[in-house]
Chain A
Amino acid sequence: MSTEKVIELREVQQRFHARGTPDGYLTAVADASFRLDAEPPQVVSLVGQSGSGKSTIARNVLGLQKPTAGTITYGGKDIFKLNRTEYDEYRRNVQPVFQDPYSIFNPFYRVDRVLWKAVKKFSLASTREAGEALIEESLQAVSLDPGRVLGRYPHQLSGGQRQRIMLARIHMLRPAFVIADEPVSMLDAQIRKLFLDILLDFQREHGMTTLFITHDLSTVYYLGGQVMVITKGEIVERGPVAEVMHTPSHPYTRLLLDSIPQPDPDARWTTRITVNESAATPPTDTATEATPII
């Protein structure tokens, strides 16, 4: 395809009807303009506190919510005015990983369905065997044992397993852009690192650009690349991660940086303990799943 793979937001504004506000509106996104390039593949983090409008931007970019004002283009065309082929191209290339690994699965169906849906809707395989092979390959790419997850219902899997099934779906689709809305915020530290490493692998090996939404600066650090800081629906600072972290120019970024726990050994020790507790709780042991198979 000849369309240039670029997502561009221009002065995007999103308001919602809301009771109890002076003018009856709540402005979730005030004015967001930025551009995501598929070339070179990169990670762009969008960081901000709860309620700053991050998820709303993700839903706008994914075409799930039409902004009140401003435009979002893919390959230079408004994503809400695409023709059939342009739409297919856009859908194929802009795919999400959502925050909550629980409600992302319809409780009525086995987890396989999500993967088969992708195979069928995007014509990834022409035969059933080819589809099965693709699904197995993608599950292995995210360190999941197909035999242990296929045929199960969502509630029979751990959060980490479910979230990696979403990554397997991404692996199958190989979109140019992954819109990841706090994908690790509900995972424990080990699975979190595994997840981020897989995402970085995807960037390197399959050339995916990720818009990584988070409220956690240590994740931003870990991923590197570019970062945008959002507060109250407005992007107040942007630049390479190292630069923004070392010489923040906006007071809000400084505030965010100050709220990171200091790297002293005692503090780290406490987090370790909580991690071990949470790793022990899920019914299916996530810790044993964490070691890559192959």
Chain B
Amino acid sequence: MRILNAVLRTVRNSGRLATGLVILAVMVLLALLSPLIVQWIGGGTDPIEVAAYEKWLVPSGDHVLGTDQFGRDVLAMVLSALSVSLQIGAIAGVISTVVGVVVAFVAGYKGGWIDNVLSTFTGILLVIPTFPLLIALSAYAKNVSLFQVGVMISIFSWPFAAKTIRSQVLSLRSRPYVDLARVSKARDLEIITTELLPNLLPFIGVGFASSALGAIFGLVGLEVIGLGPGGVIDLGQIIFNAINTGALTLGAWPMFVVPIVLLTLLFAALNMINIGLEEVYNPRLRGVAGE
């Protein structure tokens, strides 16, 4: 309840944050409803089945975005792919954030050699060029599940979350209210969860949004150059497909443009959330805006 209030207060303080959240909410809603919409488009049959319709149909009333080289309905495919992209973002975001938060707290709160070891490790992962590594990994990943792809990508995105949060833990742990909690016999875990964590929520939000964004675009990057793991069809896969088949020259432009528009919107939304959160919780403004 208290956390909900804090969230509402934060949102009210930033138009950018609100806009980002609304766009994201609409996309999530679309993704959630995608099975129903796909069913409705198919009207009894599966519109994503190979040869469900004639191939390379141009956009019309029946097929708003046309069909692809296998005669699949593009709108239905794009909606399912959006859902897949978002799920991968969510999986990678959650894993990265949880790992990042745990590492950041252990390192930032305990300090000393533990911090040195963990920070060095995080630092190394941060500077490793992850893209080639992802390419190498996905070469082995044929027919992997959506969840596996999310896990694979989060291996490389948690250090970003960890780094942001650790610096915040460092600045928060020397606050007098932490000392007061300690002389009030609060234990480390209690201090972390009740004194530090609530104040870190915005940074955890930023960590989540950035790693989700990183994961979605990392995968799109892999797909577009044709090196994505097989088995999952996300927005990047459709873009790759469009490029590969020369869809643009065949008049099937929605196959290329719509996924890109969706990704751009997603990018904008997640970034607006990031910037909005930072805006509201900027240390310099905290005295004014924070509570």
Binding site for B on A (CB under 8 A): 59, 62-64, 88, 91, 94-96, 98, 100, 103-109, 114, 117-118, 121-122, 153, 155
Contacts and interface: CB of A to CB of B under 8 A. Distances in A.
B12 interface: no
Contacts of A94: 183
B287 to A, nearest CB: 8
A98 B174 CA distance: 13
A101 to B, nearest CB: 9
B199 interface: yes
B176 A100 contact: yes
Contacts of B287: 155
B285 to A, nearest CB: 13
Given A121-B185, A122-B185, A104 B291 contact: no
B184 A117 contact: yes
Nearest to B197: A108
B196 to A, nearest CB: 9
Nearest to A179: B183
Interface in B183-206: 183-186, 195, 198-199
A95 B291 contact: no
Given A103-B175, A106-B177, 14 more contacts: A62-B179, A64-B182, A91-B185, A96-B180, A96-B183, A98-B176, A100-B176, A106-B198, A107-B286, A108-B2, A108-B198, A109-B2, A153-B291, A155-B291
Give the residue among B184, B198, B287 with the most A Cβ atoms within 10 A: B184
A64 B176 contact: no
B188 to A, nearest CB: 13
Interface string B117-139: 00000000000000000000000
11 contacts: A64-B179, A88-B185, A96-B183, A98-B176, A103-B175, A103-B176, A103-B177, A106-B198, A107-B286, A118-B184, A121-B184
B290 interface: yes
A146 B291 CA distance: 21
A98 B180 contact: yes
Contact of A91 (B6, B176, B183): B183
A96 B177 CA distance: 12
Contacts of B198: 106, 108
A229 to B, nearest CB: 26
A100 B176 CA distance: 8
A114 B194 CA distance: 12
A221 to B, nearest CB: 27
B183 A104 contact: no
Nearest to A99: B176
Contacts of B2: 108-109
Interface string B4-40: 0010000000000000000000000000000000000
B180 A104 contact: yes
Contacts of B195: 106
Contacts of A95: 183
A114 B180 contact: yes
A218 B291 CA distance: 36
A68 B280 CA distance: 40
Contacts of B290: 107
A241 to B, nearest CB: 28
Interface string B87-98: 000000000000
Nearest to A166: B180
A49 to B, nearest CB: 21
A107 B291 contact: yes
Nearest to B198: A108
Nearest to A105: B177
A94 B2 CA distance: 32
B199 A107 contact: yes
Most-contacted residue by chain A among B180, B184, B185 (CB, 10 A) = B180
A122 B184 CA distance: 8
Contacts of A96: 179-180, 183
Contacts of A104: 176-177, 180
